[in-house]
Amino acid sequence: MGNGRKIDDLVRIRHGSTLCSRSIPASRTGLAGTTTVGNHATVTGQVGVAGHRKIGNRVVTTR
């Protein structure tokens, strides 16, 4: 877990996943095993990320 990150309620973070600095997973989000969320990235509500994936820096995912 990086510095300055914020985690909303109802977020599921599985084994081996990494949240870099200032990343924000919103409510009802799921990160499968060994997922990496980059710096300043936002995972919006109701988004699921499959395992072994990387979300880059400054990316905003949407449903």
How does pLDDT run along the chain (63 residues), one tens digit per residue? 778 888 988 999 999 999 999 999 999 999 999 999 999 999 999 999 999 999 999 999 998
> Which of 27, 33, 61 is closest to 45 using CA atoms?
27
Q: Could you tell me if 35 and 14 are in contact, meaning their C-beta atoms sit under 8 angstroms apart?
A: yes
Per domain, the residue ranges of the chain are 11-61
Q: What is the pLDDT of residue 44?
A: 95
Residues 6+ apart with CB under 8 A from 36: 17, 18, 20, 53, 54, 55
This prediction has a pTM of: 0.89
Q: Please identify which of the residues 15, 34, 37, 39 carries the catalytic annotation.
A: 15
Concerning whether 15 is annotated as a catalytic residue, the answer is yes
First-to-last alpha carbon distance for the chain, in angstroms, is: 24
